[in-house]
Chains A and B, each alone.
Chain A
Amino acid sequence: DQQVKQNSPSLSVQEGRISILNCDYTNSMFDYFLWYKKYPAEGPTFLISISSIKDKNEDGRFTVFLNKSAKHLSLHIVPSQPGDSAVYFCAASLDFNKFYFGSGTKLNVKP
């Protein structure tokens, strides 16, 4: 009964191209969404977030899109760089402190 799902366990992209990571959720009450990035042997670090009142949020090379009707979230990285290679987790919340995480997508950016 995972409420946040990342159906692609891995993604491989050429350096300079766009990386698109996807996330689906089941609970329509979620109103805040985040993406975290995780390197091996480290904890997740916050990347970008979006409130449900928006459908897009941009921060440099990272853009998060929210499609509430489809209950779908995506993270676009452009251009992708080898240093972006990591595991990306999406998370969703409806009550400020309890976040539901997906299982992560491992991104490999090839030089």
Chain B
Amino acid sequence: DTAVSQTPKYLVTQMGNDKSIKCEQNLGHDTMYWYKQDSKKFLKIMFSYNNKELIINETVPNRFSPKSPDKAHLNLHINSLELGDSAVYFCASSQEATSSYNEQFFGPGTRLTVL
């Protein structure tokens, strides 16, 4: 009955590989997000989708491509992984976030290590 789930929890891979992280929420929320927690521990937003439509796309390399097959899922695909992509990636969701402030519910995070 996890509200926001991510798979995998840990991902270790070689430079140059392509990998995906999956996220699912069962809260009935309209908006989903991907955040990256870097080595300095800042949580930085990467993408946000509202009802499967991209609404935030921060300055992220185009090797990162989010995909939202439905409003309960937001997957993150990363091509040609680089050492600097090593981080913890958090998925989050909230109720409709285009006209009011709503708290975000976070998944447990995926620790990506690129060797």
Contacts and interface: CB of A to CB of B under 8 A. Distances in A.
Partners in one complex: yes
Interface of A: 2, 32, 34, 36, 41-46, 49, 51, 89, 91, 93, 96-104
Contacts of A44: 43, 90, 106
Nearest to B107: A43
Given A96-B99, A101-B44, 4 more contacts: A2-B42, A32-B101, A44-B90, A97-B98
A101 to B, nearest CB: 4
A14 B43 CA distance: 28
Contact of B103 (A34, A41, A51, A98): A34
B9 to A, nearest CB: 8
Contacts of A89: 43
A70 B55 CA distance: 31
Interface range, B side:
20 to 34
Given A41-B108, A104-B41, A96 B56 contact: no
